[in-house]
Amino acid sequence: MIPFRSKSSSSAQKSLERLNAPHSAFVCLPEEETMTRDEYEERLRALEAQVQADIALVQAGHEARVRSLGSLWQAATAGAAIPAPAPVPAVAPKKAARPDWSTLDDLQEALPRLPEVFDKRDVARVLGYAPAYTTLVRALAELKEAGEIADADGYGYRSQYRKVRHQGL
């Protein structure tokens, strides 16, 4: 596309000076001068040339697709094997969700096998699986509320718990 050129080079010079001026909050450009009939026709010819080039490009792409389809058809009718599409990899099935409260039930059953003072890694080792963090924290909170475990005295990086001994049973 042919850029618009003003007849007046001094106004173009002033526009460039405004653009190269120190940074300001906005840029103010003077309105374009009216275009002459010759400039209008030149721009119109440039637009027509551009649309013709675009149409030729689309037409060439369409012709390539038609040739490709023809080649496939000829191969199929000649008895040649057409390459099969690549197989889609199978998506691994999602793990089935554990039943509600099963982690708490498993933890209550595993409590006798845990050491006197234990942490989350000990729980995962004894359970044979690593429950989701929030599920495990919720189950441990339930056991603390029921009085079966308590926080251990140690203050460390990992939370530690201890079994509560029930007397007189």
> Which domains, and CATH codes, for the chain?
9-77 (no CATH), 102-163 (1.10.10.10)
Cα distance between residue 147 and residue 152, in whole Å: 13
In this predicted model, what pLDDT tens digit does every residue of 30-41 receive, in sequence order? 566 788 999 889
Quote the tokens at residue 4: 């618009």
**Statement: residue 28 has pLDDT above 70:** no
In this predicted model, what pLDDT tens digit does every residue of 55-107 receive, in sequence order? 999 999 999 999 999 888 888 888 756 566 667 777 777 777 778 888 999 99
In this predicted model, what pLDDT tens digit does every residue of 94-118 receive, in sequence order? 777 778 888 999 999 999 999 999 9
Whole-number pLDDT of residue 1: 47
Q: Kindly state the average pLDDT of the residues 22-45.
A: 72
**Statement: residue 54 has pLDDT above 50:** yes
- Compute CA 115 distance to the chain's CA centroid, rounded to the nearest angstrom: 44
Whole-number pLDDT of residue 65: 92
Percent of all residues in the chain with a pLDDT value above 70, rounded to a whole number: 72
Identify which has the larger pLDDT, 29 or 153.
153
Cα distance between residue 142 and residue 148, in whole Å: 9
Mean pLDDT of the chain, nearest integer: 79
Tokens 């026709």, residue located: 41
Cα distance between residue 73 and residue 75, in whole Å: 5
